[in-house]
Amino acid sequence: MERFYRRRLPHWEKDSAWYFLTFRLHGSIPYVMFEKWKAEAEQKRRRFIQRFGQLSPQIERSIDSELIRKTERYLDSQIHVRHLEQSAAAEAFVNNLERGAKDLYRLGPWVIMPNHVHLILASQQDEQGEPIRLSRILQHIKGASAIEINRALKRSGTLWQREYFDRIIRSMTDFRRKAIYIEFNPVKARLCDKTEDWPWSSASRQLAGYELPE
């Protein structure tokens, strides 16, 4: 079953799916700038609806993908909010990510960037045999890691931006393409020369519970 819901950004869920996820630090993009990008995306949605009478899932994803590209280009160039470049913060996140892989999700490729995280995962099943909701998984990953990272950095306050981007992976080709994107991200951002040189990535460090789809 595939489900669609919208908070400040649209989200899709599908039973047994692998997801490509991106979430970022609070304050890593100026509020006014991000709201402008979202308003531009909403204007495109309205134009499509006015012209065609409805907005297809494919067009919705295309509009969202453009917003994601703008976001990630800015994040790669941003130099101010970069808590995750500190080893203590990155290690706290990794420890929390690995714990969740035992019960909540199956973990695929991942990377921790200075101000955002990319990862691929699939839901485990709960006690009733139902897929664990993505919102519950993100609550664990972001909520628990925020406490541990703030403690490690001796800081307080909001760590993560509330919203996140998610994409259902539709094929093995799509999985491989996104896995390459994830592990190549530090090279693209000029943080290292080779993917395996970045210490906070599945390219150099495979956690317990790491797996690839069958």
Where the chain has pLDDT below 50, the residues are 1-11
Nearest to 28 by CA among 69, 94, 72, 65: 72
Residue 57's pLDDT is: 75
Residue 61's pLDDT is: 76
Residue 10's pLDDT is: 45
Tokens 């692998």 sit on residue: 18
Kind plus residue range of the DSSP H or E element containing 35: helix 31-52
Q: Where are the domains of the chain?
A: 2-28+78-197
Residue 214's pLDDT is: 66
Domain 2-28+78-197 sits in CATH at 3.30.70.1290
Q: Mean pLDDT score of the chain, rounded to an integer?
A: 86
Residue 159's pLDDT is: 96
Predicted TM-score (pTM) of this structure: 0.80
Residue 107's pLDDT is: 93
Question: What are 29-85's pLDDT values in tens digits?
Answer: 888 888 888 889 889 888 888 888 887 878 877 887 788 788 888 887 777 789 999
Residue 72's pLDDT is: 80
- Cα(112)–Cα(99) distance, rounded to whole angstroms? 16
For residue 26, the one-letter residue type is H
Nearest to 143 by CA among 100, 88, 202: 100
Residue 3's pLDDT is: 45
Helix (H, G, I), strand (E, B) or coil at 17: coil
Q: Compute the CA torsion angle 72, 139, 195, 124 (nearest 10 deg).
A: -130
Residue 11's pLDDT is: 45
